Amino acid sequence: MDESARDRREAIRRQAQSYFQDVNPAHDWFHVERVYRLSESLACAEDADLETVRLAALLHDIGRRAEDEGRIENHAEWGADKATEILKAEGYNTAQRTAVRHCIRAHRYSTDPEPQTIEAKVLSDADNLDALGAIGIARTFTYGAQYERPLVNPELPPESDNSPAGRTSVNHLYKKILQLTDRMYTETGRERAQDRHAFVETYLKQLDGELSGKQ
């Protein structure tokens, strides 16, 4: 491994981590580390540029706290701009900065632009994979608790909930999390999503039985 590249990446890692003080655990530094590992794995399988993916994964959520606190509107847009500044200061060239910037701008589930490069598709898939499965369920309830979203409301089943993301954490699982598998861009991402998706479905089936009093 190129020592200078690793040293620069570690400098980026330290700067990125500084944006994660006192954040919601659903989007904390451990989330970034999970996305980083997933991104590496997907990048190798999909023949994506590994260094671009690594840098984008480290920096993809640096704007999340500011958005959660209402200081900015879109953490992906803001984060892409800030990441470009950070990378420039560390000596990354224009092509590298542009590639990472697009990955970060395009990683968000709910807004444009769509990922156009394999590296951006890898980051998007890695981020969505971390919202699925056991960790995805845990993150959903953690995020909902901070914003005082009810766990579940028997009087508001998912089919009657007209909000895009769900007014309860359980409805969020149905309305958003279970849609993520269909949003995977890479073949490897789609394959990885299957088991995680099935786990969420199994959990919801168990939960439905408990709520009904049948289990």
CATH assignment at residue 145: 1.20.58.1910
Instruction: Please indicate, yes or no, if residue 138 is contained in any of the structural domains.
Output: yes
Q: Which one-letter amino acid corresponds to residue 101? A: R
Same domain? For 189 and 140 the reply is yes
* Total domain count, the chain: 2
Same domain? For 6 and 60 the reply is yes
Instruction: Please indicate, yes or no, if residue 121 is contained in any of the structural domains.
Output: no
pLDDT tens for the 215 residues of the chain, in order: 577 888 999 999 999 999 999 898 999 999 999 999 999 999 999 999 999 999 999 999 999 999 888 999 999 999 999 999 999 999 999 999 999 999 999 998 776 789 999 999 999 999 999 999 999 999 999 999 888 899 999 899 899 899 988 999 999 999 999 999 999 999 999 999 999 999 999 999 999 999 888 77
**For residue 1, what pLDDT is reported?**
53
- pTM, two decimals, is 0.94
Residue 68 in tokens: 């959660």
Residue 208 in tokens: 């439905």
Q: Which of these, 29, 28, 48, 214, lies nearest to 125 by C-alpha position?
A: 48
Please state the separation of Cα 160 from the chain's center in Å. Answer: 27
For 125, other C-beta atoms within 10 Å of its C-beta total: 28
Q: Which domain holds residue 1?
A: 1-111
Instruction: Please indicate, yes or no, if residue 117 is contained in any of the structural domains.
Output: no
d(CA 116, CA 13): 25
Instruction: Please indicate, yes or no, if residue 50 is contained in any of the structural domains.
Output: yes
Same domain? For 208 and 141 the reply is yes
For 104, other C-beta atoms within 10 Å of its C-beta total: 28
Same domain? For 2 and 104 the reply is yes
Instruction: Please indicate, yes or no, if residue 124 is contained in any of the structural domains.
Output: no
For 160, other C-beta atoms within 10 Å of its C-beta total: 10
